[in-house]
Amino acid sequence: MTPEPNSYPRLALGCRLNEKTQQPRVLHMPERALRLNGPSLEIIERCDGSHTVQNIVSELQQIYSKAEPQKVEQDILGYLTLLHDQRALDFVSGAAADKSREAK
């Protein structure tokens, strides 16, 4: 499942990223953990339900401006899909995310 550009990725229930003060940064998932650094960390830090997939792609294309923009996008979409398949991420549609933010 390729994520929709206007969807909002967020960590799934039971998943959390350790504190910034704790090194190395680790994504804790049920029964496993994933050590993060570089682009993988940049992506996960933005999966907070307030950035769209397109926002994440655009921001990382700016950070990694020496890389081919299309390759950056493909890598991000592939990583988001992998994390979703591993039940570490959920994607919320734009309308549902707007309602969630209004309720807060």
- Give the CATH number, domain containing residue 88: 1.10.10.1150
Domain range enclosing 51: 8-103
Has residue 67 been placed in a domain? yes
pLDDT for 3 equals: 92
**Dihedral sign for Cα atoms in the order 24, 52, 87, 75:** negative
Has residue 95 been placed in a domain? yes
Each residue's pLDDT tens digit, 45-85: 999 999 999 999 999 999 999 999 999 999 999 999 999 99
Domain count, the chain: 1
The number of helix segments (H) and strand segments (E) in the chain equals: 4, 5
Has residue 1 been placed in a domain? no
Class of residue 23 by CB neighbours under 10 A (exposed 0-12, middle 13-18, buried 19+): exposed
Has residue 52 been placed in a domain? yes
Each residue's pLDDT tens digit, 4-49: 999 999 999 999 999 989 999 999 999 899 999 999 999 999 999 9
Has residue 57 been placed in a domain? yes
Has residue 54 been placed in a domain? yes
Has residue 3 been placed in a domain? no
* pTM of the predicted model over 0.75: yes
Has residue 2 been placed in a domain? no
